[in-house]
């Protein structure tokens, strides 16, 4: 399958990074979000990150300009998906939101188009079942920040065809990424391991085992992690962390995955981490 035109739905933390890497690899990209303001913010982030690559002489001015020139913006999903060979969905991590988006994509994207989701935890098989093309639905789980991180988990739903899997795997390699095949179980490999660790760090904070900085210091100095779990949670977004823990808890049915009450409280208060200026730490 020849993939040229890529539509990315959701211009937030992940969506703008995904649009960035496809455009940089020479694909025309349509970025879709719900408002002109959100799209402008997404494209601004792409521009800022390309500017950094330029400063570090990783790309030329010409590559910078051409990459930006390949990104079109749309606020209507129907029009934005109409020419897609591949759609990568990166909207809010909520089943109800994704369900609506997948149903609309199934209606408006060409029948041959592959529908990929960047979901961290929602079942690809379930997303496929919302459409009439389950064989062409696959997980393409990028990592944050997308232009920097090389891993992509490629998730096979129960119905995903080999041809679709192979196409998406080849495409990830084209982007200069390192794809890893994973089966469609909650949290895949990455979040099945990472999120319970972050959740446990939040329990340590809630129970007063240590303060936030010290918890992170233990993990950076003692375990050689490049970033402490609470800093990482702020970076990912505490709402995203909570959604993932809820999916693990519900779908695996084991209380060891129960979200920490302090995580819930932070999200209720709107302390979502870096993106809201405050989470476990404050950001200027
Ligand atoms: P985000 O909250 O930064 O961005 C989500 C975007 O989707 C928002 O701009 C929102 O306006 C848009 N959106 C929501 N409903 C929409 C609709 N119906 N049509 C068009 N746009 C819509 O979220 P983030 O962090 O980028 O997460 C997106 C997806 O990526 C989630 O599934 C998340 O689990 C996954 N993910 C997140 C990672 C992270 O580090 N934040 C890492 C890997 C995956």
Distances (CA, A) of 4 to 108, 146, 188: 17, 20, 28
Q: Would residue 191 show up in a list of annotated catalytic residues for this protein?
A: yes
Does any ligand 1 atom lie closer than 6 A to the CB of residue 119?
yes
For residues 85 and 6, is the Cβ–Cβ distance under 8 A? yes
Residue with tokens 């405050």: 278
The 3-class secondary structure across the chain, one letter per residue, is CCCCCEEEECCCHHHHHHHHHHHHCCCCEEEECCCHHHHHHHHHHHHHHHHHHHHCCCCCHHHHHHHHHCEEEECCHHHHHCCCCEEEECCCCCHHHHHHHHHHHHHHCCCCCEEEECCCCCCHHHHHHCCCCHHHEEEEEECCCCCCCCEEEEEECCCCCHHHHHHHHHHHHHCCCEEEEEECCCCCCHHHHHHHHHHHHHHHHHCCCCCHHHHHHHHHHHHCCCCCHHHHHHHHCHHHHHHHHHHHHHHHCCHHHCCCHHHHHHHHCCCCEHHHCECCCECC
Q: Choose the residue to mutate in 10, 147, 244 for probing ligand 1, maximizing ligand atoms within 8 Å of C-beta.
A: 10
Instruction: Please identify which of the residues 16, 118, 120, 123 carries the catalytic annotation.
Output: 120
> What pLDDT does residue 97 have?
97
Does any ligand 1 atom lie closer than 6 A to the CB of residue 77?
yes
Q: Would residue 141 show up in a list of annotated catalytic residues for this protein?
A: yes
For residues 93 and 119, is the Cβ–Cβ distance under 8 A? yes
- Which CATH number does the domain 191-274 belong to among 3.40.50.2300, 1.10.1040.10, 3.50.30.50, 3.30.450.20? 1.10.1040.10
> What pLDDT does residue 1 have?
80
Q: How far is the CA of 218 from the centre of ligand 1 (A)?
A: 31
> What pLDDT does residue 73 have?
98
Does any ligand 1 atom lie closer than 6 A to the CB of residue 236?
yes
Residue among 274, 280, 187, 186 at smallest CA distance from 237: 274
Gap between the terminal Cα atoms of the chain: 46
Q: Which tokens hold the place of 108?
A: 């408006």
In the chain, what are the domain boundaries? 6-183, 191-274
Q: What pTM was computed for the model?
A: 0.92
pLDDT (tens, 9 = 90+) of the chain, 284 residues, equals: 889 999 999 999 999 999 999 999 999 999 999 999 999 999 999 999 999 999 999 999 999 999 999 999 999 999 999 999 999 999 998 899 999 999 999 999 999 999 999 998 899 999 999 999 999 999 999 999 999 999 999 999 999 999 999 999 999 999 999 999 999 999 999 999 999 999 999 999 999 999 999 999 999 999 999 999 999 999 999 999 999 999 999 999 999 999 999 999 999 999 999 999 999 999 98
Q: How far is the CA of 270 from the centre of ligand 1 (A)?
A: 16
* Residue of minimum CA distance from atom 18 in ligand 1: 101
> What pLDDT does residue 121 have?
85
Q: Which tokens hold the place of 279?
A: 């989470």
Report the CATH architecture of 6-183.
3-Layer(aba) Sandwich (3.40)
Does any ligand 1 atom lie closer than 6 A to the CB of residue 30?
no
Q: Choose the residue to mutate in 44, 45, 92 for probing ligand 1, maximizing ligand atoms within 8 Å of C-beta.
A: 92
């Amino acid at each position: 399958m020849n993939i040229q035109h890529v539509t990315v739905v959701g211009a937030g933390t992940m969506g703008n990074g995904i649009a960035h890497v496809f455009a940089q690899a020479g694909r025309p990209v349509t970025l879709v979000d719900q408002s002109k303001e959100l799209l402008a913010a997404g494209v601004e982030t792409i521009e800022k990150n390309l500017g950094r690559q330029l400063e570090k002489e990783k790309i030329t001015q010409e590559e910078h300009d051409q990459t930006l020139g390949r990104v079109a913006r749309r606020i209507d999903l129907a029009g934005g998906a109409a020419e897609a060979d591949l759609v990568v969905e990166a909207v809010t991590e909520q089943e109800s939101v994704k369900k609506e988006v997948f149903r609309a994509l199934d209606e408006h994207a060409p029948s041959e188009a592959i529908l990929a989701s960047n979901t961290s935890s929602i079942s690809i098989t379930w997303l496929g079942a919302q459409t009439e093309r389950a064989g062409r639905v696959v997980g393409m789980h990028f990592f944050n920040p997308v232009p920097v991180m090389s891993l992509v988990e490629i998730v096979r739903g129960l119905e995903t065809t080999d041809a679709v899997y192979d196409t998406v795997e080849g495409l990830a390699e084209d982007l200069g990424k390192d794809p890893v095949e994973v089966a469609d179980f909650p949290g895949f490999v990455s979040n099945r391991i990472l999120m319970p660790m972050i959740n446990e760090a939040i329990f340590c904070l809630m129970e007063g085992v240590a303060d936030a900085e010290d918890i992170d210091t233990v993990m950076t100095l003692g375990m050689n992690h490049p970033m402490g779990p609470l800093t990482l949670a702020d970076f990912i977004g505490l709402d995203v962390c909570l959604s993932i823990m809820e999916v693990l808890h519900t779908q695996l049915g084991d209380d060891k995955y129960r979200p920490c009450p302090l995580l819930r409280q932070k999200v209720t208060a709107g302390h979502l981490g870096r993106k809201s200026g405050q989470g476990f730490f404050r950001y200027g």
